[in-house]
Every structure is written in C-alpha cells, then in structure tokens.
Amino acid sequence: MSDTAKIVIGGAAHDLPIVVGTEGDRAVDITKLRVTTGHVTLDEGYANTGSCRSAITFVDGEKGILRYRGIPIEQLAMNSTFVETCWLLIYGRLPTQEQLKTWSGLFTRYEMIHEGLYKHFDGFPPTGHPMAILSAMINAGSCYEPDMMEMESDTTFQVAAARLISKIRTIAAASYKASIGQPIVYPKPHLDYCSNFLHMMFSLPYRDYEPDPDSVAALQMILILHADHEQNCSSSTVRMVASSGANMFASCAAGVCALWGRLHGGANAAVVEMLQQLHDQRVDLKEYVTLVKGKESPVRLMGFGHRVYKQYDPRATILKEVADRLLGRLKRPDPLLEIAKRLEDVALNDPYFIERRLYPNVDFYSGVILRAMGIPVNMFTVMFAMGRMPGWIANWKEVHNGAIALYRPRQVYVGEPERRYVPIHERSAAGESGRESGR
C-alpha cells in the first residue's frame, strides 16, 4: 500500500503523507493542506477526523476491541482495581507494589475537600442537577489548590491527579446528600475507593452503611469500564480546553459538561427512564422498536448504537453479566432488567438495527446495575464522570506534555456575504433589514 495519498485540486496534484498507528490504523496527514492548497477539509461531527496521536486507549469498533495502554478491557475488568487502572491510564504502565501503595495513599490523604468548599453546597437549590454541581465544584476546587495550577514537577502532577480522582467521589456523594437534605458524610480513611463512596452516599450520622461486597465489586467494574474511551466527546473537550494551557481542574470541569448530554454520558439515565416508562405504561416492545425506527421520530432506542462500535460494545458484554449476577441475588427480580433483555432481543433481530449495525452500548446495562445499588437516576451520569476522570487526566497530560499547538479548527462560512450596517430608524420589522436588526 502506498505511503502517500494524492489529492488533486484544480488540476494540481498534492501528495499527503499516510500516518500508520501501532495497530495498523491509517490516516491521511493533512497538516500542510491549507498552506499548500488554500483548502481545508470539512468533516462535521468529526466522524472521519483523527484529532491527535494518542498512546492511551485503542478501540477497534469493527472487531469490538477496547484496550487501555495495550491491555484488553476484559483482563482489566477481571483482575484490576479502579485505583490501579487510573495509574495505568495516566502513566502508561501497570504500577509496582510500591507505586500502587504510594498512589492509594495519596487518594486517602486527599479524600477530604476543603471545609470552605462544603459551604458552596448551600448555594445550590435542592433541585440543582448533580452534573451542574459537580462541574462547578471541580472548577471551584482549583481555587483551594493554588499550588496545583502550575504543574512544574512530576510530583505536583501526581498529587494533583490523585487529589482530583479522590475528591470527585467526595464531591459527588456530598452533592447527593445536599440534594436530599441530609447531612454530608465525611470519608473514612480505612475504606477502599468504592466502599468509601458508597459509605458517603448512604451512611447517616446515627447509622453507618455497611457496603455490600457485590455492590462494591459491581461499582469497581463500572468505574474500570468507563475509565477511558479514546477521543469521545468529553475527552476531546478536555484536550481542547487543555490545549489553551488551562489547568487540569478547569479542563476536567469542561469534560463533565460535555459528558452531561443525552447522546454521551447522559444516556445511562435516559436508558433507565425509557425502561421505566416501558414498564409503567406496559408498552409493547415490538411497537416501541417500530417507533424508534421512524424517520420523523424524535425517539431513539437509548443505549443502542455507537459512533465507533459496529459490533457489540465489549463493555456492554461485561456489564450484562454483572447485571445478571448482581440482580440475580436480589430478593425481588428487577422488571427493568427483564425488559432490557427482551428489548435487546427484539432490536437485534430487527433488520433496521442489523443493517445499521446498532448494538447495545456501555449505557444499556449500567443503569440497571446502578439502580440495584440504590444510586438515584440523576446521579448516573455523575458515576460515569467519576469513572472517566483518569481518562480525562491522561488526555490532559498528553496535551500538556506534548508540543501540540492550540486546538483551533477551521470552518466553512455559510452566512451572509459582506453588507452595510443599517441604522435603526431605516430598519423594518421583517425582510432584509429586519433580519439585520435581530443580530
């Protein structure tokens, strides 16, 4: 195969180098295209655009492969912990025993948030969405960590990364407690990452919550599976913000906002809302699938389809098993899990889904698992954010340490051509000058 591509514009041919990744993925390098031809490429939604070279995560959507730093997700899910996976993503290799001990120690040391920061929770109304609170609090956190703003040494970076991953769990649980009018629960240093989070979510001043080992294991799995996913919307946002030189807190707060939307991290909550509605209104699942297929229908089958995976999402395979295991132990089976499985069956046998290669994604089963742990639906995307934090930090680090210029895409302008400024007394309510007055 040729190592250059050729593009012919206005009769003139231009050679463009081909860049080949570790796994054989190939990209046409257009870095010099505008300078040499005066043209830019147009790829709305970036489905064909490689925005960077990254050594963090590999996804093969055709084969259903996901690897963090080369290690298959199935092996990490089976053997690793979230804290260890964070190190792997951020540093590119598995930690030694000593490194893991120091790293975990930092999580414990920095698990509290500044007392001043707790007061911010009083400023949010109880109806405030936890994602808004989370993003605001991560940004506000930087005001309490001024020494973390300049990452001048590896040690400062390591402490900042551990602080952020540790504190996001304290902030998340505190925002939940504030929203239900209960006193905020402080972390306990002897508990592991996941148990500590569940303790802060569900303990009361007069009664300690005893985390159930199955829930702790399921949470661990969810966090590992969400820890990174190459250039998804929120990680690309983090990189974009980082490229301006913004600090890690500001960049990750922006990542939280990008994650919030229903087509990205918000899908896990949307799936459970959909399943609940199907259950409560006893909707016929075949009819529902017909509804989501409609060209004019505003409804999509939430938790199905993926920009990259044209196969079963490997994370969904693992989560389906976890859901079966965790929910199988409940005294009363969760009807939403049964509906999810039947819905999956209907969709996977439907020509619309087969032709478009739409399969369950990570969000299809994660919601029912979180529900079984007692996590409220409006906290689901917060859980995703907790999991994705190491991925955001690894991406931030790659941009911060690299010689990458400011991320600043071009556009094709399709607005008005140059025209005259119309003084206000000459404008009419409608027509040409009316449009001008609305600008």
Interface residue list for ligand CMC (CB under 6 A): 232, 263-265, 267, 292, 300-307, 356, 358, 361-363
Q: Is 306 a catalytic residue?
A: yes
Distance CA 136, CA 127 (A): 15
Q: Which is nearer to ligand CMC, 14 or 262 (CB)?
A: 262
Catalytic residue, from 120, 226, 229, 306: name it. 306
Q: How far is the CB of 145 from ligand CMC (least distance, A)?
A: 28
Half-sphere exposure of 102 (CA within 13 A, CB side): 10
Residues in the chain: 439
Catalytic residue, from 313, 334, 350, 363: name it. 363
Q: How far is the CB of 230 from ligand CMC (least distance, A)?
A: 11
Report residue 320 CA to chain centroid gap.
20
End-to-end, the C-alpha distance of the chain in Å comes to: 52
DSSP 207: B
Q: Which is nearer to ligand CMC, 302 or 383 (CB)?
A: 302
Q: Which is nearer to ligand CMC, 160 or 289 (CB)?
A: 289
Q: Which is nearer to ligand CMC, 95 or 303 (CB)?
A: 303
Tell me the DSSP string of 376-416.
-GGGHHHHHHHHHHHHHHHHHHHHHHTTPPPP-------S-
Return the number of other C-beta atoms located less than 10 Å from residue 256's C-beta. 29
Q: How far is the CB of 63 from ligand CMC (least distance, A)?
A: 17
Q: Which is nearer to ligand CMC, 178 or 386 (CB)?
A: 386
Which tokens sit at 256?
Answer: 């939280």
Q: How far is the CB of 258 from ligand CMC (least distance, A)?
A: 10
Q: Which is nearer to ligand CMC, 98 or 355 (CB)?
A: 355
DSSP 302: T
Residue showing the smallest CB distance to ligand CMC in the complex:
305
Q: How far is the CB of 406 from ligand CMC (least distance, A)?
A: 26
Distance CA 148, CA 42 (A): 38
CB-CB contact of 50 with 389 (8 Å): no
Half-sphere exposure of 390 (CA within 13 A, CB side): 27
Instruction: Tell me which residue has tokens 């911010």.
Output: 120
DSSP 183: P
Distance CA 370, CA 235 (A): 23
Which tokens sit at 16?
Answer: 């463009």
Q: Which is nearer to ligand CMC, 185 or 301 (CB)?
A: 301
How far CA 154 is from CA of 89, 168, 235, 350, 401, in Å, comes to 16, 21, 22, 52, 11
Q: What angle do CA 377, 378, 382 make, to 5 degrees?
A: 105
Residues with catalytic annotation? 306, 363
